[in-house]
Amino acid sequence: MTLLGTLLTSLVIAREYERGTLEALYATPLTRGQILIGKTLRISAGDGVDGGVLLTRLLLFQLPLRGSFLHSVWCRRCSWCRTGQGLLISVTMRTQMAAAQLGLMTGYLPAMMLSGFLFDIHSMPPWLQRSRWRFRRLH
């Protein structure tokens, strides 16, 4: 989820700029904010699909919800934050390569390093252990 949210969103506007189609979008009667909202909603449609699957599971098939519903809502909020982070990267970078590298460095690497996959939690400093614990509870 972290990789898709940040990395793919960071390529959206950078791709339009590289192809030269961003100027064509600016020629339309849409404002820049409307263009950004349209790009964000297209990428965030996956979150809506997840919510639809959850509702179908609960209402149609009457399957029980295991775990915390509040945690599920919090994950959706984090997903919007990752999408916003990727969009900010995409607006500031001019090439897809630079956007992809910055997206990986700011989104994927911290998630990988704080997940406990690369480094044992006991070898981390105490302040990082606490932030890792919070990060793990959010994801």
Which domain does 130 fall in, by range?
Answer: 2-138
State the DSSP string of 99-130: HHHHHIIIIIHHHHHHTTSSS-GGGS-HHHHH
pLDDT tens per residue across span 5-40: 788 888 888 888 888 888 888 888 988 888 888 887
Structural domains in the chain (count): 1
What pTM value is reported for the model?
0.68
What does the pLDDT read at residue 108?
Answer: 80
